[in-house]
Amino acid sequence: MELRSGLSRIRATIARLLFHLLTGRYSRRTGIAIGFVGAVLITVVGYVSGPTVERIVTGVSVIPVLTFTTGDLTVLWGVHATVITLSLVGLSFAWNSVKNLPTVDTIIEEIAYRLRSIETISFLLTSNLCIGAGVLLATEDFVSADIGTATGALLVVSVVVTVHRFWIVFDLLLHNTLDEKVFDFADAALSGKSRATTSDYDVYLGHFFDASRTEIERDRPERLREKLRNVEKLLDKLLASDSELREDRRFWEYVYGKYDAIYRRSITQQNPELEKQVIASLSGVFWKTQNHGDPDLIEQTVQCFATLFIRGYSMEPQNSTTEFLLERFENAQNRIFGQFRNAENEESLEPATEQVDSLLETHTSLWRTTVEYEAVGALDYLRFMLDDVHQFREYTYAPPQAVRDARDIPEDSLEARKQEKADTYRDTISHLKFGTYGWALNLFEEGDVSEYFIEQVFADYVEQDFGSISKLSGMYFEMGEATEPLNYWERWNLDRELERSHGVASTGMASNTWLLRFYCTALVWILNSEEAIDNLQNRDAGDSPLTKYDHIQNRVEKIIDRLDSYRDGYPLNDVLSGGPSADERCDALVNYFETVRNELDEQEQDWIRTLPVSDESVDSYAESADSQLDSCSLRTAIEEVGGITQVETLDRDASTKFTLYATTPRKAFVDDGVPTFFNSNFLGLIDKYRGRVLEKLEFEEREVEAAADVPDALAEVVSEEDVALIVAEHMEVARILRDDERSNRISDDDLRSYFAFQDVPVLRDVTTEFAVVVLFNEEFDYVEEVNDYPISVEVTPGEDVDEWDLEDLPDEADIRDYVRIETSYNAHIESSGSTGVVFRIRAQE
């Protein structure tokens, strides 16, 4: 294997060297040396072989014997010098012409290498010197065979070299073979033979793109197509190679950017045929990327169709080539949909689904553009393209779920997965229609599209695609819960705001803003007869499609509010064509949705009553209570001064214990799909803890008349006792202490203390239980019982509570709608003497 690899490298090296020699890819000094060595080598070989050549020639009667006199040789020397002069002048003029060729400098340099002027000049000059040497060496009247053969060979080769050089130049200039040369250069770059690398490939493409621009400016569609076919050929060569450039996204962005640029230029020429040629070429690139099967390239190519589509409308709203572009795009769509249909294994299904995803994403750009430019014809075409796509119909690849279960068809089978994808795509198309029509209404409300256009959208499209309350409601709530990457409608409004603000922008969710307005507007629109209103009023709220969704009462409330606002300002009031008034329609809809909301509340309540108390919710509540306990600064101070020992079970009497009960709705403690965050501050619970701890640690009780008296009273204690820490009420008392002249700034993150009073750290506590607590440096015994948390929590469903205090429940309440929370704390706290002083502000009578 190593030997074969080594031979392969040797062959590649030899091929590269030969290519460099044949194409002149070497330095000027090397070129001069090659010309010099070539001339000298011919001279030496001719001189040495001259006598042999003479015997052969004289021995063959059909070959005439040529004899030269020394004078003839001198004349030939002069002729050779003249030829050299004329050749150099001619090559100089030819080179100046080559430099002016309509292409980029890189390609000019490539051509310069191919002309190889340096070695030609070196060869001719050296040949002339060698012929001159022959003249000097010829001392007899007739030239000897050795000198004659050498000079003759030099003369012949000089003529051949000169003619060949001129042939290359004139072939390039007169027969216009520049494009062929560019193909040669590109091939050499891809194969690694040339000095250029694949990174220069865009230069060769740029040559044809520039030539295409020239043909556009000259208004020559046929010639433009020729140049663009060359682009396609170069791209095909690249895709067929193993070059890393084929996967370089920036390179392909350059390619599609060039297509956008020349399409833009063709629009300015006001010639639809030019635009069609650019579109046709892009279509050709699509087929080539399809043949090579790279999903990323296919996605970029398909997206370029949208780029040209948008460009056309932005520059020429009445663009006449739109239908041609959509026809080519439809051809691409048919190919992609066909690949999805024909996928027979996982390897072919995965890229097929990626291509369908990219295609539908491109559709979103096309559809949005049609409504922004009121392009009714294009919108009709796009609707036709996605109307009842047979590849996405129900049960095309797999039967219904019940049949699958009966036939034991696994859920992960290819057929089931294809059907699942097809169903998703079918829903995505419906989302696209709903979102597009909603975006049209949003533009109308902002004054960006005409009343005539929005009337067409609702009369021709909304009524046809979503002609019932069930269809509208199902689609609106589906889109509100959509999580697929194609929920592009959320980006539309944000993109629009960013374009307007040219900076930072924020918008609400589409389902709460413009999609909500469209949904409500469409509901009013389709309720266009007394019969429709009667049917709505007689409809059972339990049969509403909304009842299959959970936790949507807030959204229904927003719908009611929006419909209620339409009683006075329905946006399409001026284009309603007969039937009940907007007020009548809104009244019926408001009543209906209020009934649905009540039905949803009852369903949710009945369901929650059946759910058990969630252990996760109880633990979350206990964790929140523990977090509040940890934030208690009095507890922090006690831990710092004397420490708190935690045990699973107390081995002595619990001198400090308490139990609190609370009643709360059951919904907070069941797993109903909506997470509950217990953000209560548990103030009563923590104050209960503070009171019991202060009681058992034997703090001396003192009173002050007002908060302003605290600093002096505190200073007296500090001066008399060994004070470890001070805990102050966090509002008024802490502020007064902080501003006192006896306080100074400190920073103790562990204690959460940021100032000291007379060099004693002060902690702030959120409480009304005391004004200030002073802790001495005294030992005490503090052991608490901990089962997961110091404060244990038990939650009991209402139906399992033995005795309810009726004052804890609202009137006519169902006990199943509530739970009782029991919080308890057990600890043994004992001190041998006073552990500090607690100051309280005397109550005002």
Task: List the structure tokens of 151.
Answer: 């000079």
DSSP state, residue 458: I
Tens of pLDDT, residue by residue over 739-768, are 999 999 888 777 888 899 999 999 999 888
pLDDT at 784 over 70: yes
CA 761 to chain centroid, in Å, comes to 52
| Cβ–Cβ under 8 Å, residues 763 and 636 | yes
CA dist 500 → 373, 435, 505, 836 (Å): 17, 21, 9, 65
Question: 308-312: long-range contacts at Cβ-Cβ below 8 A with a sequence spacing of 24 or more?
Answer: 308/259, 308/260, 308/263, 308/278, 308/279, 308/282, 309/365, 309/366, 309/369, 310/365, 310/369, 311/260, 311/263, 311/264, 311/267, 312/263, 312/267, 312/275
H or E stretch including 42? Answer: helix 28-59
DSSP annotation string for 525-583: HH--SHHHHHHHHTS-GGG-GGGGSSS-HHHHHHHHHHHHHHHHH-TTGGG--SSS-HH
CB contact at 8 A, 496 and 442: no
- Of 355-359, 377-381, 478-482, 595-599, where does mean pLDDT reach its minimum? 478-482
Please determine, for residue 694, whether its predicted confidence score (pLDDT) is greater than 80: yes
351 Cβ neighbours under 8 A, 6+ residues apart = 293, 295, 339
pLDDT in tens, 451-467: 999 999 999 999 999 99
Cβ atoms of 172 and 98 within 8 Å: the answer is yes
Confidence (pLDDT) at 111: 59
pTM for the model: 0.74
Average pLDDT over residues 62-87: 71
Phi, psi (degrees; rounded to nearest 5) at 757: -110, 115
CA separation for the pair 30, 44 (Å, rounded): 21
Residue 193's identity, in one-letter code, is K
pLDDT for position 712: 94
The pLDDT of 8-14, averaged and rounded, is 57
Over the stretch 701-733, which tens digit does the pLDDT of each residue have? 999 999 999 999 999 999 999 999 999 998 899
Residue positions counted in the chain: 845
* pLDDT tens, residue by residue, 328-341: 999 999 999 999 99
pLDDT tens across 171-211, in order? Answer: 655 445 567 777 777 777 777 655 555 667 888 888 889 88
Share of the chain above pLDDT 70, in %: 86
